[in-house]
A and B are shown apart, each in its own frame.
Chain A
Amino acid sequence: MRERRREYELMYIISPLRSGEEEISATISRVSQAITSMGGEVISISQTSPWGRRKFAYAIREYAEGEASRRVFNEGYYVLAHCKLLTTQIPELDRALKLNDAVLRHMLTLVDTRGQAPVVAASAASEESDEGTTA
């Protein structure tokens, strides 16, 4: 498979049990480290409003560490990150996020960079209008 770098948007939720100040930055740096160790680069991280500490739209029940039954969570800490990754490393990143105890949920989305100049634009938004979509 040809190796290609693409821009992704990663959103993950940190469990409220691990939401002490230092724990949050530790988790974020762990995730960023995982990304860079795979040869990717982290472009930006956002934890300010509307992310950061936020109530869920529904209760999430997950196994907490060391407990037998699932616990109910009603709020968590959202983090939104933009990163550039090799396409072959995506399953690894996904696995790393799944295994991480502090990360409750995560979602990796592709940022649509069609219609942009091939030069690296630091603020590539995912809603750039296209010049001409091939329908």
Chain B
Amino acid sequence: MSDDQERRRPGGGGGRRKFLARRKVCGFCADKIRDVDYKDVKRLQRFVSDRGKILPRRRTGTCAKHQRTLTGAIKRARHMALLPFVAAHTRS
């Protein structure tokens, strides 16, 4: 399977972690959504880490096109204070 091939590749890179996510289908392509809405906070939160950072594509499995619109939507939501720039850490 292509997964095994990908896992063997980082052996030569050095310092690269194992892939955390298997090959997933892009969530937006599956739901046939073309434009990500910055107001859809619930959906956007899935693509943001617990620290508030935008997750990379290899973690979430989104396709390139949707990752770009997703990033734009997240940044808009952050501007309107619907999403944080940095999430407050609860354990201190």
- Listed in ascending order, the chain A residues whose CB lies under 8 Å from chain B are 11, 13, 50, 56-58, 60, 76, 78, 80, 105, 107, 109, 112, 126-127, 129-130, 133
A130 to B34 Cα, complex, angstroms: 8
Chain A residues with Cβ below 8 Å from B35 are 112, 126-127
Is chain A's interface secondary structure helix, strand, loop, or mixed overall? strand
A126 touches B37 (CB 8 A): yes
Q: Which residue of B lies closest to A11 (CB)?
A: B80
B34 touches A107 (CB 8 A): no
Q: Mark B21-64, 1 if CB is under 8 A from A, else 0.
A: 00000000000111101110100000000000000000000000
A107 to B82 Cα, complex, angstroms: 12
Q: Mark B48-91, 1 if CB is under 8 A from A, else 0.
A: 00000000000000000000000000001011111111100000
A127 touches B34 (CB 8 A): yes
Pick from A13, A58, A60, A112 the residue with the most CB of B within 10 Å. Answer: A58
A98 to B82 Cα, complex, angstroms: 20
Nearest CB on A from B69, distance (A): 11
A129 touches B34 (CB 8 A): yes
Question: Chain B interface: which size bin?
Answer: 10 to 19
A57 to B88 Cα, complex, angstroms: 10
- Listed in ascending order, the chain B residues whose CB lies under 8 Å from chain A are 32-35, 37-39, 41, 76, 78-86
A130 to B32 Cα, complex, angstroms: 10
A127 to B81 Cα, complex, angstroms: 22
B80 touches A58 (CB 8 A): no
Given A50-B41, A80-B39, A109-B38, 5 new contacts (CB under 8 A): A57-B78, A60-B81, A78-B80, A126-B35, A129-B32
A57 touches B37 (CB 8 A): no
Contact sample, A vs B, 26 pairs, CB 8 Å cutoff: A11-B39, A50-B41, A56-B81, A57-B81, A57-B83, A57-B84, A58-B81, A58-B84, A58-B85, A58-B86, A78-B80, A80-B39, A105-B79, A105-B80, A105-B81, A107-B76, A107-B79, A107-B80, A109-B38, A109-B76, A112-B35, A126-B35, A126-B37, A127-B33, A127-B37, A129-B34
